[in-house]
Structure 1
Amino acid sequence: MVGSGGLLTRSGLRGREAELEELHALIASVARTGSGGLALIQGEPGIGKTTLLAEAATTARTAGFSVGLGKADELHRIVPLSSLAACVLHGDQPLLSGDAFADLTRNQDQRIWLVERLAEAIEARACGVPVLIALDDVQWADPLSRFALKQLPARLRTSPVLWMLAGRPDLAGPAEEIVAAAADGLPTVTVPLGPLSGAAIRQLAGDALGAAVDERVRHLLDGAGGNPFLAVEMLAGLDSTDVSGDLVPSTLVVGVRSRLASLRPSTLRFLQMGAVLGRRFGFSDAAALYGRPPAKLISELEEAMRSGLLDDDGDQLVFRHDLLRQAVYVDVPPSARKALHREAAGHLVAAGHQPIDAVPHILRGALPGDEEAVALLRRAAEDVLPVTPGLAADLMTRALELVPSARPLKFEVGEQAILCLTRAGRSREALSTGDRLLACRPSLEVFSQLQAALGGTLWNLDLADELRRRAESALTVGGAVPETAARLAALRALAMSRGHDLAAAREAGETALRAATAIGDREAHVLALSGLGEIAQNAGENAVALEHFAALRTIDSAFLPEEIVAHLHMDDFAVGGRLLRQAADNAGTTRQAMLLWAQGQHDLGLGRLDDADAGFVTMERLEDDVQVPVQQVNARVIRSRIALLRGDREAAREHLAAAQERLAVKPNPGNTAAVRFLEAVHAEADGDIGLAVETIRQVQQEGPFMRWRLLRDWVDSAIRMALRGADHALAEDLAAQAEAHAARNPTVPTATGIAAQALGLARNDLALLEHSAALLKAGPRPLVRAAAYADLGQALLAAGRKPQAAAALTRARAMFAESGAHAAAARLRSDLAGAGVRSGRAVTKQRPVQGWGALTASEKKVARLIAEGHTNRSAADLLVVSPHTVNTHLTSAFRKLAVNSRVQLANVVMAMPDTERTRG
């Protein structure tokens, strides 16, 4: 018989010369250019994907690549990061040590943080040698590995990192998702494997048998349908010394059965236990499922290996091909399979495995009413929730299905399912689950607990009125334990933050905070402080908002972005910047997207338009990655304003359209007001002043509690629109709003300065405009200061004071230009001419769209550092920004310079004059 080692290593490559050449070309391209690439090998089971992938890995290793080769496993496809772990932990020089990898998965609670750390490790290796990361059977990749593989190829496209995936064709499968995510700017090839030709199959037979292939064998091989693995398995059943014997049946299952028929019953049973456990399984686990000590099964193991069905990799036993495992598995009756899977789960847990390792068997073997299975699913969901909330939600949904409706456990499991579904962004499903449970008429105590659990769901859905109604209903009926009552009270206050009576909301929040503090419930405390912070923000009470968000951050560091933004509202950019620098060192403990939102607000306030825009771009990408959009509407509104300040009308309109599209998903009052205001700005820019004024009026009427939040820095623009439309009442209303906000924030220069500016515009009062410029001179916001000087200059010009007007307008123009607001600077040209100042061409000079001159200052800094050999992480540390932001700058620089790798970028930088290359 031809055993497991009897076939030539290259036999599976017969007929694959063209495919090999395509992969070799991609390997050579990555090594030559220093840029990334991705290859997808697709085909049916047994068609030769594994062999081709292994050959490509050998070629890459010979070419000097650091190679990580792994294989996803069907029964491990829910274990977080198990698939990618197989790639980064194995090989001659693993990309990560086992301990380092364990630290990654143990010490973090965010998918984005974990992916960035993986990217850093791979990027660091790629600085010395090109890297190949190859994953076989990608169709079974676990959710967290799939998430990482959708981010990493694009994130590392500027480094010599080649990704190779092999899997079965599936138009909606993981491989297609990964390729689609990497398609923009990354060389990608798909290598489909079809059936081998008859000639190639005959060559393969000759390799296997070492003899001429006669007519009977050729007839046998016809049954393989060009599938090399099936052909090999058929040949493995032939006696090479008597090829004229009976033919092996033409289907794999029957073929394997014929081989199993010669095994002892005890060996067959051992193989079946292994097949239940998966393609890879522990000897002791199979023995436990068999019901015998491992020492009593040595002879069965040896016979199974002699049969060519199993290999031993030193740690685990492995079926030589998953098709072999499936052929053994299907011979186990379905009812027995279910029972064995359930028993396997129990053995794995008893042997010390993590709950998630037992879950695949629970999902296949548990029956309704199995409370032990429910407990395992709940533990596993809790373990994976921080990194794969979608998987946690799936597990809890299944757990809920296993609990009979009549049992009280149904509500306990249901509450956990609601929380997991909400965390996964599946809020409507969470609400539906909660309402079904509430329809089962639970006790008053459970009723209150479920309503409290739905609080975050309703808030995420922007259903503030419904949240308040439910919280008040649960508090009214009573029966809630003190912790639940405190949470409901805090949720009620949070919901009231979106209402019109903020005084009542503040009182409700303070009451809720006292209750939370008295009973020591952390969740109630967090909710109460969050609600009070929102209320203070909506009331325009900056100092109070800062107090609450600072207290909130001491309880939960994830709320650091809120504290940072609160400092910015107080014009305290020094503390805000310091906290941002601290956050960069502890990024795993906060929300990455929200931290980028805070960074963007910081840069915008300091007039760094390019950096602010890059920050908001990065923030939106990260929110898309985790599919939890929070600030995308506001970010697009701001980016549209930035584009208008720069003079890029096309980009401004694109951002407006994107904001309108995202508003349909999150139509809360704040988002609605922001988009309406932006529509007014665009209407004015298009010359439709009537529409602009009407839109501003709607914003004022529909959301008075949102007025100051929206127009805090932009009220001057709204007043100018009102005055152009001859709506002096609206202008006075807006000015009064700014004045009231200043009264609430008397120590904030921006608030007091804008109030004076607003009143000066509305009343055409030159003295107030002069006072505004003086107040804002002490503030940190150059764009706000520039606008005030522009208004002052125009008023001075109208008063005939040309020298003073020229000075004010010149200062305004310089500040606009320094921030990159070239269109705003250009609009002052006629006023400057009227004041007797000639416009300098350099002031309104726009950046080109391609070449070194097209790069922003930050992009140039990043380009210089990368050209010096820095990684994204080390460049981020030097620039005191996040690696995500560095990646955004680098991607933009690559596009503008038309380069594809760090090597090419270095060549461009080194070709620059010394003064430009070394400039800080």
Structure 2
Amino acid sequence: MRAAADEAKSAGCQVFWASCDELSHAFPLLPLLDALESAPVDSGGQAEILELLRIESAPGNGVDHVAAATERLLALVDELCTDIPVMLVVDDLQWADPATVQMLGRLVRSVRQLPLFVVGVMRPVPRREDLKALGRTIEPASRMRLHSLSEVEVGELVANAAGSTPGPRLLRLAAGAAGNPLYITELVAALDRAGALTTDNGTIEATGTKTPGSLAAVIADRLEFLSPAGRGTLRAAALLGVDFSVSELAMASGQTVTELMPVLDEAILAGVLRENDFALAFRHPLIRTALYEELPIAVRAAWHRDAARALADNGAPAERVARQLLPAFQDEGTAGVADEWMVQWLVDTGQRLVARAPGAAIPLLRRAVAAIPAGVAPHDLLACRLADALYRTGDAASAAEVATSALEYVTRPDYLVDLHWTLTQCRSMQGRAEEALAALDRALDGPMVGRQHRTRLLVLKARTQCLLGRVDTAGQVATTALAAATESGDRWATGWALGLQTVVQGMRGEAARSLPLFDRALAVAEGHPGLADLRLSLHINHAVALVHLDRLDAAIGAAEHGRQLADEAGNMVRLGQAQSVLGELLFLAGRWDDALVEIEPAPGASKSPVVECCDRGVAAVIRLHRGDPTAGQDLADAERYAAQLGDRVIGVLALAKSLNREQADDPVEALAVLMAGLSETEDTETTADLLADAVRLAIEVGDFEAARTVVKQAEEVARTSDVPHHIALPPHCRGLLDRDPELLLSAAQHYEAAGRPLPRAQALEAAGAALAERGDVAGARAHFTTAFSLYSDLGAEWDLARTQAKFRSYGIRRGPHVRHRRADHGWSSLTPTEIKVAGLVADGMSNPQIAAHLFLSRRTVQTHVSHILAKLNLHSRTEIAREVSLRATA
């Protein structure tokens, strides 16, 4: 691979080499960050990524630094590929952290789009599920398994290393290496250093009686030729890993770079070290291992501790210090105790380490927490951080256990609030939000919570009630919290209470009343570092409020803006929410292809169960309307996520389940799904989404009592609203019940004003049927044709087939000007957005540049490019550009 990398460099490629080791698993993305550190400055992003990973973040702020850094690194690779091909090698992939493996998987899926060569080098053990999954994404022809050298190849290697044809004894010695090329080359070098090689008549032969008997022995023989100073310095280097920077070696060894240079030059000449771009590396991991294991365990642990302290004193990042502390404890075993310096370092730096590398923070925090009695300030603080670290690694059960245990003795109010934030998030993930509410109530009733912290717990309680869909209760708690926060001057609680009130107003269908609250909440949150997550939440919820007011274009623009802000902030939770909201808005607007792209499942996405449920629900509804057989998987996924949400009603999931039962010729069960949703939700918008279909199905199964009940609900929703899609509900539902075409046409007009093509088409279809029943075939044909055109634009094949069958029974055929079924392949199958993306690819733009130009996410652009390649049966961006050029000149 080194030879291939050198050849790639000679051919004009940029080559980046990442090396993993046994500790890499605890430090997300560190090998890739080190490898890309040498990326050209004008490619941008590296300093920003490092800064993003090292920002301290408190529990509950929603920032996933690793996921955000992954997106930035992917964008950086994309930019690097714009002008010059890139080769990225990850060595010892078996030790890589999960985030690095996941990022490689995404890069592998993008190689058709970029001039990018991704190489992973790994040993067969340890076997890991994520690496096996990565292997399944790679074609068999792209995988190469290395084997021991054959007898002929061993002879060729010995001849090359010795400089002449080997004799029988030398070949017999080499045969003992079992085809291991390192062993063979080190054996020949050891014999040469010992003067045990002689040349006679063009043949080189091993002489003497003493020869190295093992690979470890020949490596030790090489090291014996180093000076004592050189050997000591290389032991310090061995603490840092196979690859290391000279500056870090200077810190760990206590020497200056100038003092190190003669020793390092000696090691390079002796074949122990090699240059590795802007760093140094041991020529082989086994050489580093030999030096490392020469040290007694206790001495090695002490050296690691001293190296950690030296790095920390010189301002090294938290993850670099932790890389020294972790093996110190591993070497000491269970007897390792957190000393005073380490505890203080975790107090000062622990939250940054939790944000950057929670897996590395957990064992260190466990040691520190165990070393300090409960109730002592550092213990309580570090217990909070331990619970947060466990939550960030996805171990909700352990995080909840630590938080629950700490709540029994922690008395400091701000720690109590942090623990409850962590515990509530864990319980919500586990579908046990009721337990979190019970714990909050106990804390609110307890004597240790002062006014300010009580207010913050009330905010958390209101937020949890919102999550459970209990609108009125959430509103009452949020109002109480707002009053208390305003009185005490708590800006944080004031902002969150206002933000929760905007959500409650939206769930009540009173979006107009929420708009002033958004302005107030944003004014409070502006410039406050602890309210960055709230600002993103407000932008997303503002988009939701705008669509509830039928300002659909403005809502889509607000959601796109919220998505951009979340991406820039590195808040992947909010990014997932923004994309989910945008997908639902695009669904309502009839831009179904774009909606599916926004909500397409993506590796590494950070989404809550409610967001995943909504996304899969929207996808299921679209695909059911289109007659797509993959809808079943979307529906199953949505139901799986819904199981984690308790009894909360997700409107789009209810629609999907009902539609699925209807298409299975079970209208009774389809109606039962909608009626259950209507009876169990307090959310006005969820109710509004279910009403018309419930009336239609009730009439179909002959349950007119249910139909009349739903009509009354529709009238109640519209009673105090001037929003078009609310105003449309009574004439739509009453028109279905009374078979009144005038009412149905009135509903269609309101849906048109709201910008919602699907319910408009449904109302026109029903109006056409009502007119046909009255004998007005001409009027029915006109509305049937319009409905058919709307369904065609949506690609709603199931609705088209149903509508045709219904109107054929009245003797009405499809009009001559209606669009035919959409193409699945070829240029005509591309959506408007895909055509724009193809044009920008042809202009030479990278995915990040296209994303900025079209106000999309980089991930969304990548999905569009993948769809373009598939639909046009192309294999690269170059072929897309050629296709666009040919069409431009045709």
Shorter-chain TM-score: what band? 0.7 to 0.9
Structure 2 partner of 1:564 = 543
Match of 2:671 in 1: 693
Could you tell me which residue of structure 2 aligns to residue 344 of structure 1?
307
Given that residues 226 and 266 in structure 2 are in contact (C-alpha distance below 8 angstroms), is that contact kept between their aligned partners in structure 1? yes
Match of 1:190 among 111, 118, 143: 143
Number of aligned residue pairs: give it: 850
Mapped partners of 2:494, 2:133: distance in 1: 41
Q: 1:247 to 1:469 in 2, by over 3 A?
A: same
- 1:62-141 aligned at under 5 Å gives the runs 62-72=10-20, 78=26, 80-90=28-38, 94=39, 96=41, 100-107=45-52, 110-111=65-66, 113-141=68-96
Q: Distance in 1 between matches of 2:861 and 2:255?
A: 57
Tell me if the contact between 1:275 and 1:329 (Cα under 8 Å) persists in the aligned partners.
yes
Q: Structure 1 413/807 Cα, relative in aligned 2: closer, same or farther at 3 Å? A: same
Counterparts of 2:519 and 2:646, CA distance in 1: 25
Alignment correspondent of 2:530: none
Shift of 1:360: 1.1
Aligned to 1:582: 561
- Alignment partner of 1:719 is 2:673: no
Which stretch has the larger CA shift, 537-546 or 154-163? Answer: 537-546
Distance 1:76 1:583 in 2: 34
Distance 1:125 1:98, change over 3 A: closer
Counterpart position of 2:613:
633
1:157 pairs with one of 112, 118, 127: 112
Paired residue for 1:853, among 828, 831, 841? 828
Aligned equivalents of 1:288 and 1:852: distance in 2? Answer: 60
- Aligned partners of 2:832 and 2:247: how far apart in 1? 61
After superposition, the C-alpha distances for 1:555-601 in whole angstroms (9 at most, x for unaligned) are 33321222212211111123223324534654313533222212212
Structure 1 145/518 Cα, relative in aligned 2: closer, same or farther at 3 Å? Answer: farther
Corresponding residue for 2:58? none
**Residue 415 of structure 1: how far off its partner (Å):** 1.3
Contact 2:777–2:812, Cα closer than 8 Å, also in 1: no
- With over 3 angstroms needed to count, the CA separation of the structure-2 counterparts of 1:273 and 1:787, relative to structure 1, is same
User: Take 2:192 and 2:183, find their aligned partners in 1: how far apart are those partners?
Assistant: 17
Query: Which residue pairs with 2:200 in the alignment?
Result: none
Cα distance in 2 for residues equivalent to 1:523 and 1:426: 28
| RMSD, matched Cα | 3.5
Instruction: State the match for 1:422 in structure 2.
Output: 391
Q: Which residue of the other structure, out of 573, 590, 601, is the alignment partner of 2:552?
A: 573
Q: CA offset at residue 475 of structure 1?
A: 0.9
Match of 1:789 in 2: 764
The Cα of 1:509 is off from its aligned counterpart by 0.8
CA distance 1:432–1:101, shift in 2 (3 Å): same
Residue of structure 1 aligned with 2:581, choices 598, 610, 618: 598
- 378-387 vs 404-413, which moves further: 378-387
Select which of 328, 348, 355 maps to 2:291.
Answer: 328
Task: Give the 5 Å matches for 1:225-264.
Answer: 225-239=178-192, 241-243=195-197, 244-261=207-224, 263-264=226-227
Compared CA separation, residues 358 and 246, structure 1 to 2 (3 A): farther
Change (3 A) 1:640 1:777: same
Aligned to 1:778: 753
- Corresponding position: 1:904 with 2:858: no
1:362 is aligned to: 325
Which position in structure 2 is the counterpart of 1:644?
A: 624
Whole-Å separation in 2 of the counterparts to 1:157 and 1:391: 35
Question: What is the DSSP-based 3-state SS (H/G/I as helix, E as strand, rest coil) of the residue aligned with 1:740?
Answer: helix
Do 1:143 and 1:388's aligned partners in 2 also have CA atoms closer than 8 Å?
A: no
| In the alignment, structure 1 residue 704 sits paired with structure 2 residue 685 | no
Aligned residue among 450, 458, 461 for 2:430: 461
Asked whether the equivalents of residues 677 and 699 of structure 1 are also in contact (C-alpha less than 8 Å), the reply is no
Query: Where in structure 1 are there 5+ consecutive unaligned residues?
Result: 1-52
Deviation digits for residues 378-399 of structure 1, max 9, x if unmatched? 6555335556666666765565
Taking the aligned partners of 1:592 and 1:876, their CA distance within structure 2 comes to 15
- Between the aligned partners of 1:480 and 1:672, the Cα distance in structure 2 is 35
Other structure's SS at 2:556 match: helix
Counterpart CA distance in 2 for 1:396 and 1:231 is 45
- The TM-score with structure 1 as length reference comes to 0.83
Deviation at 1:635, TM superposition (A): 1.9
Contact 1:378-1:396 within 8 A present in 2 as well: no
Alpha-carbon distance between aligned partners in 1 of 2:109 and 2:582, rounded to the nearest angstrom: 23
- What is the CA distance between 1:357 and its match in structure 2? 0.8
SS at match of 1:631: helix
Does residue 512 of the first structure (1) align with residue 470 of the second (2)?
Answer: no
Structure 1 pair 722–342 and aligned structure 2 pair: CA distance change class (3 A): same
Change (3 A) 1:582 1:503: closer
> Is contact 2:90–2:119 with CA below 8 Å preserved after alignment?
yes
Per the alignment, do residues 211 and 150 of structure 1 end up closer, same or farther by CA in structure 2, a change over 3 Å counting? same
Q: Which whole-Å CA distance do the structure 1 matches of 2:253 and 2:14 have between them?
A: 41
CA contact (8 A) 1:77 1:83 kept: no
Residue matched to 1:169: 124
CA distance in 1, matches of 2:178, 2:653: 60
Tell me the percent identity.
27
What amino acid maps onto 1:344 in structure 2? A
1:220 correspondence with 2:189: no
- Residues 284/115 of structure 1: CA separation in 2 closer, same or farther (3 Å cut): closer
**One-letter code of the match for 1:359?**
A
SS at match of 2:143: strand
Q: Is the 8 A contact 1:786 1:816 kept in 2?
A: yes
Which one-letter code corresponds to 1:718 in the other structure?
Answer: A
- Counterpart of 2:705 in structure 1 is 729
Report the CA distance between 1:434 and its aligned residue.
1.4
2:56 maps to: none
* Alpha-carbon spacing, 1:315–1:805, altered in 2? closer, same or farther (3 Å): closer
Q: Check the 8 A contact 2:444/2:457 in 1, yes or no.
A: yes
Displacement of 1:204 in angstroms is 2.2
Partners of 1:388 and 1:288 lie apart in 2 by 22
The residue that corresponds to 1:318 in the other structure is 281
Tell me how far apart the structure 2 counterparts of residues 418 and 248 of structure 1 sit (CA, whole Å).
56
Between 1:788-797 and 1:381-390, the stretch displaced more is 381-390
User: Per-residue deviation at 1:107?
Assistant: 5.0
Aligned to 1:202: 155
Measure, in 1, the Cα distance between the counterparts of 2:13 and 2:411: 61
- Maintained 8 Å contact 2:580/2:614: no
1:760–1:768 Cα contact (<8 Å) kept:
yes
Query: 1 CA distance for matches of 2:848 and 2:259?
Result: 53
Amino acid at match of 1:644: L
Return the letter of the residue paired with 1:413.
Answer: L
Q: Secondary structure at the match of 1:134?
A: strand
Change (3 A) 1:359 1:711: same
Q: AA paired with 1:896?
A: K
Give the aligned partner of residue 744 of structure 2: 769
Instruction: Write the distance in 1 (CA, Å) between the matches of 2:51 and 2:384.
Output: 26
Contact 2:384 2:415 in 1 (8 A): no
Q: Which 5+ residue runs of structure 2 have no aligned equivalent?
A: 54-62, 198-206, 330-335, 526-533
* Partner in structure 2 of residue 15 of structure 1: none
Q: Is the 8 A contact 2:718 2:730 kept in 1?
A: yes
For 1:500 and 1:576, the matched residues in 2 are separated by: 22
1:808 is aligned to 783
In the alignment, the residues of structure 2 paired with residue 566 and residue 451 of structure 1 have an alpha-carbon distance, to the nearest angstrom, of: 29
Tell me the alpha carbon deviations over residues 745-801 of structure 1, each in whole angstroms, 9 at most, x when there is no partner. Answer: x12111111233123324545554344234334322122222222223323333444
Q: 1:339 Cα deviation (Å)?
A: 1.2
Residues 279 and 322, structure 1, Cα contact 8 Å, conserved in 2: yes
